[in-house]
Amino acid sequence: MCAIQAGQSIASTMGFTALEGLPMGTRSGAIDAGLVLHLIGEEGMTVAEVSKLLYKESGLLGLSGISSDMQTLLRSDRPRAQQAIHHYCYRIAREIGSLSVALGGLDHVVFTAGVGEHAAPVRDSVVRQCGWLGIALDTSANQRNQICISTSHSEVGVWVIPTDEERVIAMDCVESLR
């Protein structure tokens, strides 16, 4: 996640690598650094094994024990799938709170990419947890995957904007070549 002010990133949930921040499909997201020390020192794992665990076997996959795919988890009635979704949504809501502090307030929340564009239940959960920020979700618009999914009386706009990473990369390449 990224806090953007006047078109510039001022804070992000990522750290030195993309492993930090939010849990992803297979990446752990933020963890206690002491866990890495424990896995190596007490469990005898090698650095390569810990790296594989944190990058390839954690996140939604590790939490659910089922899949790294949000749509699969949303269709599942297994408790671990529901716990993984809850943790994922909680972490997003928690980071929205943190990033709103960095911004000194919040004008808009934008959901994008795979889960943000295609998982209405995730957006619903996140927005409900952020209601204290004055965010109000238009449930019908959210279910229909409309672009604007906040109510007219919401103090914060909530948007679903499709990702076009290839276009941004191409534009950056053209700019660099100039």
pLDDT tens for residues 101-118?
999 999 999 999 889 999
Share of the chain above pLDDT 70, in %: 100
Other CB atoms closer than 10 Å to residue 114's CB: what's the count? 12
Given the DSSP bridges, would you call strands 8-12 and 2-5 parallel, antiparallel or unpaired? Answer: antiparallel
**Cβ–Cβ < 8 Å for 25, 68:** yes
CA-CA-CA-CA torsion for 165, 170, 174, 175, nearest 10 degrees?
A: 0
Rg of the chain, C-alpha, whole Å: 18
Tell me the whole-structure pTM to 2 decimals.
0.89
| 3-class SS of residue 16 | coil
Residue 43 makes CB contacts below 8 A (sequence gap 6+) with none
Query: Confidence class of residue 156 from pLDDT cuts 50, 70 and 90?
Result: very high
pLDDT tens for residues 47-77?
999 999 999 999 999 999 999 999 999 999 9
Distance CA 112, CA 115 (A): 7
CA-CA-CA-CA torsion for 171, 173, 2, 37, nearest 10 degrees?
A: 160
Residue type at 178?
Answer: R
The full set of domains in the chain, from first to last, is 1-105 (3.30.420.40), 106-178 (3.30.420.40)
